[in-house]
Amino acid sequence: MTEPAVAARLTRELASALKHEELEGFYQDLHRRPETAFAEHRTAAKLALRLRAAGFTVTEGVARTGVVGVLGNGDGPVVWLRGDMDALPVREETGLPYASAVDGVMHACGHDLHITWLAAAAEALAAGRGGWSGTLVVVGQPAEEAGGGAAAMVADGLHARFPRPDVLLGQHVAPGLAGFYPHTPGLTMSATDDIDVVVHGVGGHGSRPESTVDPVVTAAHIVTRLQTVVSREIAAKDSAVLTVGEFHAGTKPNIIPAEARLALNLRSQDPRVRERILAAVRRIVEGECAAAGCPVPPEVTVRPGGYPVTVNDAVLDGEIAAVHRELFGPESVFDFGPAMGSEDFSLLAPEGVPYDYWYVTSTPPDVWAAAPGEDLFEKFAAVPGNHSPLFAPDPSVLVPGVLTLVSAALSRLGG
């Protein structure tokens, strides 16, 4: 480990070569041309091109569109830096001059920023090889947005084909007044599961409901009843969220359909809580269908590929937080606590390898100042966040987001 003051000093030396205008151009280009999960061909090619130019040995096509760059620089630790590449099926409403040119697709979670930071950090560290020793591995991951990208890279031999990491590092852009770098030791993000429900009824004409078993009404009762699971079956000290995100039924107003489909999302932070909620979902669905007289039992399916909790190594997080305090000031780093959001980042770490994942806040100062609320949490809830069609990070975070990665890597590489 390199001392925080030394890592910060080396980072400041490398920062002088960063050009905000160049970073902004690269970022805006990625933002204009977003690509969804496992379709990030253009984004991957641009990352690969920059890594090769910086001296990395680059492998493309890992898990279809993933990119891995390796830069050896003598004996020392192996440090992995990860950034995700995929965009979301969201129609952008920011009105930015560089808004998405792809209808219905947007970088609404900031992965365009992540790749900009990753590419620039890799270039800066490559240019500053005289100040560190070891091996730097840069991972451009596809399909983070519930696409199973991390698991797919591991299945494609990520851990066998490339140097085993001593540490895995990553970060995420987040809402909040630009200029802060939240760190949470231990549990920092929740597990997530997607659940499909099929309610089987008896279809018929809208004028003769007595001859049917209406799955729409039954599914509506299920939706309402599910709202009591967290509020009435889970202890107040335990955090969980259960959301019904999809409700599909019917084809015409005067036809009672034969089935209704729901899609649920569960966020949890404790395996026992997760199992209790899953059991409650099955019980409620089966109970409502039985009460309605459905002719066939319902189907409740937990989709494979859910994401686990993200648990930062507490010691490692404390050390990197110390570097960021040294670099940006003691007031810039704080513990926001565990979030209900989920990530597949931790799946990239081989068993036993510590990892750390932190945030870079990005709300423009004028947007933050105009947001209603008297304290941080009220304002945080009022500004556009990740997955919003209005999410527009302040370009002022371009250079700082590079420096957070560079300084974290330098703190772990050999001196």
Q: What are the pLDDT digits (tens) for 249-290? A: 999 999 999 999 999 999 999 999 999 999 999 999 999 999
Q: How far apart are CA 188 and CA 236, in angstroms?
A: 19
- Reported as a single tens digit per residue, the pLDDT across 170-184 is 999 999 999 999 999
Predicted confidence at residue 377, as pLDDT, reads: 84
Q: Which part of the chain has CATH 3.40.630.10?
A: 4-189+309-412
Predicted confidence at residue 61, as pLDDT, reads: 98
| Residue 104 pLDDT class (50, 70, 90 cuts) | very high
Helices (H) and strands (E) in the chain, counts: 12, 14
Q: How far apart are CA 236 and CA 240, in angstroms?
A: 10
The CATH fold assigned to 4-189+309-412 is: Aminopeptidase (3.40.630)
CB distance 289 to 298 below 8 Å: yes
Predicted confidence at residue 375, as pLDDT, reads: 85
| Residue 147 pLDDT class (50, 70, 90 cuts) | confident
| Residue 97 pLDDT class (50, 70, 90 cuts) | very high
Q: Which part of the chain has CATH 3.30.70.360?
A: 191-302
> Is the model's pLDDT at 33 over the cut of 90?
yes
User: For domain 191-302, is the CATH number 3.30.70.360?
Assistant: yes
| Residue 118 pLDDT class (50, 70, 90 cuts) | very high
Beta strands (DSSP E) in 225-350 are 240-249, 255-256, 259-268, 299-302, 310-312
| Residue 123 pLDDT class (50, 70, 90 cuts) | very high
In this prediction, what percent of the chain has a pLDDT beyond 90? 95
In this prediction, what percent of the chain has a pLDDT beyond 70? 100
Mean pLDDT computed over 20-49: 98
Strand partners, 173: 360
- Reported as a single tens digit per residue, the pLDDT across 311-322 is 999 999 999 999
CB distance 113 to 43 below 8 Å: no
Q: Which residues are catalytic?
A: 84, 145
- Other beta carbons within 10 angstroms of residue 356's beta carbon come to 27
Sign, CA torsion 279/280/286/287: positive
Mean pLDDT computed over 48-73: 98
Predicted confidence at residue 100, as pLDDT, reads: 98
**Mapping DSSP to helix (H, G, I), strand (E, B) and coil, where does residue 279 land?**
helix
The average confidence (pLDDT) of the chain is 97
- Reported as a single tens digit per residue, the pLDDT across 193-214 is 999 999 999 999 999 999 999 9
In angstroms and rounded to an integer, the radius of gyration of the C-alpha atoms of the chain is 24
- H or E segment to which residue 224 belongs: helix 215-233
Predicted confidence at residue 376, as pLDDT, reads: 82
State how beta strands 134-141 and 78-84 pair. parallel
> Is the model's pLDDT at 323 over the cut of 90?
yes
